Chains A and B, each alone.
Chain A
Amino acid sequence: MSFDALFFYAFAAVTVIGSLLVVLQKNPVYSVLSIIAAFFGLAGLYVLLEAPFVAVVQIIIYAGAIMVLFLFVVMLLNVPREDAAEWDRSHPLYRPMAVRIGAVLAVLLALELGWALSRTAGLSAGVADDSPAVSSVAELGKVLFTDYMFAFEVTSILIIAAMVGAVVLARKREH
């Protein structure tokens, strides 16, 4: 197995296990930490895809800022461990028949997906085969500020709107 494949499987394993732990864990702080681990795995995959800038930006924005926000909210609200037992007993989606039908549907979907994938041509084309990678930040900046200029400016308005919205929504009401 070449080094490339080894690294791919290692990072992919970190990402998938991290994501699974997010969904399966009860303690929300551990969920946030698992997703951070998953983001590191994703950053490794981006480096393998020769996009180092995206990898570092992923760590800075996602793992370094958004997840800190999540962690703050979890700590400020003192979110308890999820105790879903008493809600489960009355929830319609957790009745036995529903679970069985749901499982059958899930297996059916997975089989269909596998069938569709095996029929798709070009899936085994190597990612790095055809064209050289564009990984220089200068090139990224150039395209960002020429072709995608409008989206860039609108994104800044979006961020201001989100900031104002978050501050207004989370304010304590003076009753």
Chain B
Amino acid sequence: MIGDFIAFMTSPTMIAYMGVVTVVFVGLQLMAAVMVYAERKVAAFMQQRYGPYPVGPKGLLQPIADVVKLFFKEELRPKAADAFLFSLAPIISVAAAYLAFAPVPFGAPTDFFGWLPEPLPLQVSDVNVAVLVIFAVASMGVYGIVLAGWASNSKYSLLGGLRSSAQMISYELAYGMALATVVMMAGTLSLRGIVDAQQGYWLGFIPKWYVIPQAIGFFVFACAGVAETNRAPFDFPEAEQELVAGYHTEYSSMRFAMFFMAEYINMVTVSAVAANLYLGGWHGPFISPQFGWIWFVIKVAFLLFVYLWLRWTLPRFRYDQLMAFGWKVLLPLATVNLILTAAGVLYFEL
């Protein structure tokens, strides 16, 4: 049995799979670092200034400088803070952020030019209820924030933590309804199935992406996704001008770095899921399906740019406006979208 196990672990499929997992893991961390740099550069150019440029050519080594700075800061913990929960909260945030990307596929099944006996899906785990797993892990991310707010034992943190988690669970409803609408159109809960349902073209040149029949759904998903990741214009609970820094006020050094990283990785995951659900995933013209991941990366990069664009262009919502928008505008919109899509699927076989 040990011989079988070793043969299984060193088979080409397993090695390729480990490679895929490593690529996803390292890729997410690199994306977090790239986003740190991109955010400051894009913000700078939108505000007609240069942004970071002394560190490395065009400031490209700025993320490394940031990480080194955070690494060498002093690890503080307020004396009255609950030690166990104080350390657990960033761990939950980061774990949920990485876990959420596990069911997301980023390329067509490929056999790496004939090296593997059968095609390997470019995905960490191929579950057939992938959409629900992403939703479940997003619900888990709330705990990191609410525990951080509670464990810090400070007024700003507690208020920020409670507000942030209330915001996240309110927008989860519209998020879930947008997901349900796409699932209805594709007929499957698996993300790979949803992407494959968006192949092909109408009239020969308009791609069959769901963003076209589901424009309202895309708007709902985009708003809910931005609110879920606590980014502007929905970032009241962690804005500096309002609540010092909200739930991560009392955190420093690596624990803060973990929250920081968790936020950027959540952004990448929401963009990746939006690209898969609405923008056709890895399908695109001019590139053979084997290299579909290139299109995927382009789409995710575009959506991340939209994230940055939103942050540095729009003013932020006040907290009660934020909650009113989530409950009174987005939720009815998502429900109406759901009903219309149900009618459309039934009668027009969309």
Contacts and interface: CB of A to CB of B under 8 A. Distances in A.
Q: Report if A and B touch in the complex (beta carbons < 8 A).
A: yes
A65 B139 contact: yes
A29 B169 contact: no
A57 B132 contact: yes
Contact of B142 (A64, A76, A137): A64
Interface string A65-104: 1001001100110000000000000000000000000000
- Determine chain B's interface SS by DSSP, over half rule: helix
Contact of A36 (B132, B143, B158, B189): B143
B127 interface: yes
Interface in A16-36: 29, 36
A59 B143 CA distance: 13
Given A36-B143, A63-B139, A75-B146, A68 B132 contact: no
Contacts of B166: 72
A68 B165 contact: yes
A137 B136 contact: no
Interface string A104-147: 00000000000000000000000000000000010000000000
Interface residues of A, number: 17
Nearest to A40: B140
Contacts of B82: 29
Interface in B214-258: none
Interface string B138-164: 011011001000100000001000100
Interface residues of B, number: 21
Nearest to B85: A29
B150 A29 contact: yes
A72 B143 contact: no
Contacts, number: 48
B129 A75 contact: no
Interface in B163-198: 165-166, 169, 189
- Determine chain A's interface SS by DSSP, over half rule: helix
Given A36-B143, A68-B143, A137-B189, A60 B132 contact: yes
Given A29-B85, A52-B128, A71-B146, A60 B162 contact: no
Interface in A39-74: 52-53, 56-57, 59-60, 63-65, 68, 71-72
B146 A52 contact: no
A68 B169 CA distance: 9
B127 A52 contact: yes
Contact of A56 (B133, B158, B162, B165): B133
B133 A68 contact: no
B135 interface: yes
A64 B100 CA distance: 14
A75 B85 CA distance: 14
B140 A75 contact: no
A18 B115 CA distance: 45
Given A71-B146, A72-B162, A137-B189, A64 B133 contact: no
Contacts of A71: 143, 146
A169 B283 CA distance: 52
Contacts of A57: 132
A64 B128 CA distance: 20
A75 B158 contact: yes
B136 A75 contact: no
Contact of A52 (B129, B140, B142, B162): B129
B140 A63 contact: yes
A56 B146 contact: no
B85 A59 contact: no
A63 B142 CA distance: 11
Contacts of A52: 127-129
Interface of A: 29, 36, 52-53, 56-57, 59-60, 63-65, 68, 71-72, 75-76, 137
Given A59-B136, A59-B140, A75-B162, 19 more contacts: A52-B129, A53-B129, A56-B132, A56-B136, A59-B139, A60-B132, A63-B139, A64-B139, A64-B140, A64-B142, A65-B169, A68-B139, A68-B143, A71-B146, A72-B146, A72-B162, A72-B166, A75-B150, A137-B129
19 contacts: A29-B82, A36-B143, A53-B129, A53-B132, A56-B133, A56-B136, A57-B132, A59-B136, A59-B140, A60-B139, A63-B139, A64-B136, A68-B146, A68-B165, A71-B143, A72-B165, A75-B146, A75-B162, A137-B129
